[in-house]
Amino acid sequence: MLQLEVPIHVLLVALQAMKHCGHAVPTISEDVQETCLQRLAATMRFIEGVPPDLVEHMVTKSCVDHPERYLLAFVYAT
């Protein structure tokens, strides 16, 4: 159960953030979900072997440039 605690917490925070901002919760198709999972896996493969200070720089840059940077920073920090 402990392994599910963090992802569930992140999902609940994301849902509350969307409600607070007035965004509707979209229905995600399996095709979109598969594309996102492939993108996530590719990002993880890309980061493997990269020095930690460079990874930190890439994450910081990604968060600063992201339109929902506070939510993204929370997700990365968890």
Q: Is the pTM of this model over 0.75?
A: no
Report pLDDT for 53.
Answer: 93
CA distance 40 to 53: 20
pLDDT at residue number 76 = 65
Q: What is the mean pLDDT of each run of 10 residues along the chain (78 residues)?
A: 77 88 85 90 87 88 80 68
One-letter amino acid at 17 equals A
What's the confidence (pLDDT) of residue 54? 92
Instruction: Enumerate the H helices of the chain as residue ranges.
Output: 2-21, 30-47, 52-65, 69-77
Are the C-beta atoms of 63 and 69 separated by less than 8 Å? yes
Tokens of 71: 């939510």
